[in-house]
Homo-oligomer: A and B are copies of this chain.
Amino acid sequence: MNFKGKRQPVTIPRAAKTLRRTRIQEEKEEQILEAALDVFSASGFRGSTIDQIAEVAGMSKPNLLYYFRTKEAMHRALIDRVLYTWLEPLRAFDAEGNPEEEIRSYIRRKLEMARDFPRESRLFANEVLQGAPHIEDELKGPLKELVDEKAEVIRAWAKSGKIVKCDPYHLIFSIWSTTQHYADFDVQVRAVLGQEHAGEGRFEDAARFLEQLFIGGLRPDRSET
C-alpha cells in the first residue's frame, strides 16, 4: 500500500482513460500470463512462486513485477481471462434446440476443452479445491446465474417429457465433473489406462462412453416414481 513517488507502472490500466497500451505491454503481459498459467495450474496459488513464473516467462522477476504489481494481480488477471472461455460451452446451451443433441454437444465441447485447454481447467480446479479464496464472488454471482438459467431450461425439458425427470443442477454437475476429470486427473487417467490406451484416443473413448451414458440415462423411457 505504498506509492511513495515511484513511477507508476502501467499494470493493467483496465479501461483507463486515454492510456493506450504499447505493443511491448501487450506482448509481455501475454507472455507473463502464459507462463503464469503454466505455473499456477500446476501448483496452485500458494504453491507457485514468482521466480518460477519469471523463469518460465524468460524474464527477470522485477520485470514481471513491473507489469503485475503482485502475485495476486497476476492470478486475478489470469482467472478473469479464463473464466469467460471456461463458461462458453454452457452459454451455448440452447433452450430451443433438441435436448438430446444439446446435451450431446455440450458434453463434446466440454471434453474438447479438457483436451485442448487442460491448464485452464486445472487452474480452476486448484482454485476451487482450495476453497476458492479468490473467486468466491464469481462463483456465487455470474456462475450461479448462468447455471440457474440453464437449469430452468432443463427443468422445462423434463416437465414436457422430452427427457426424464431429474435434478437439473446435479445433471450439470455430473457433466462438469465427468468431462473435466480428463483434464484435472489426467495423470491418474493415464496411469490407470496404461500406455496402451492412454494415447489421444482416450478422449474419443470418453466421448463415446459419456454420450451413451447421458443419452441413455436421460431418455424418457420408463421414468421412475
Which residues of chain A have a CB within 8 Å of any CB of chain B?
Answer: 42-48, 122, 125-126, 128-132, 136, 139-140, 143-144, 147, 164, 166-167, 169-174, 176-178, 180-182, 184-185, 187-189, 191-194, 197, 205-206, 208-210, 212-219, 221, 224
**CB proximity of A78 to chain B, nearest CB, Å:** 16
B44, B170, B176, B205: which contacts A210 (Cβ < 8 A)? B170
The residue on B at minimum CB distance from A172 is B192
12 A-B pairs in the complex with CB atoms less than 8 angstroms apart: A46-B47, A125-B184, A125-B185, A128-B184, A143-B192, A166-B213, A170-B210, A173-B181, A177-B180, A212-B217, A213-B213, A216-B221
Check if B44 sits within 8 Å of A187, measured CB to CB.
no
Q: So how many copies of this chain end up in the complex? A: 2
Q: Which residue on B lies nearest to A185, using beta carbons?
A: B128
Task: Please give the distance in Å from A97's CB to the nearest CB on chain B.
Answer: 21
Q: Note all chain B residues with C-beta closer than 8 A to A188.
A: 128, 132, 139, 143
Contact B167 A208 (CB under 8 A): yes
Q: Which residues on B sit within 8 Å (CB–CB) of A213?
A: 166, 171, 174, 213-214, 217-218
- Cα distance A177–B172 when bound, in Å? 13
A170 to B210, CA, bound (A): 8
Q: Looking at the assembled complex, report how far the CB atom of A132 sits from the nearest CB atom of chain B, in whole angstroms.
A: 5
- In the bound assembly, the distance between CA atoms of A187 and B138 in angstroms comes to 12
- The CA-CA distance from A208 to B144 in the complex, in Å, is 22
Rounded to whole Å, the gap between the CB of A142 and the closest CB of chain B is 11
**Is there an interface contact between B42 and A43, defined as CB atoms closer than 8 Å?**
no
A46-B46, A192-B147 given; A209·B170 CB < 8 A:
yes
Contact of A189 among B48, B171, B173 (CB under 8 A): B173
- For A212, the chain B residues whose CB sits under 8 A away are 164, 166, 217, 224
Minimum Cβ distance to chain B for residue A62 (Å): 23
Q: Is the CB of B136 within 8 A of A129?
A: no
Q: List the B residue with the shortest CB-CB distance to A214.
A: B217
List residues of chain B with CB within 8 A of the CB of A214: 213, 217
Task: Point out the residue from B132, B164, B172, B191 that lies within 8 Å of A216, measured CB to CB.
Answer: B164
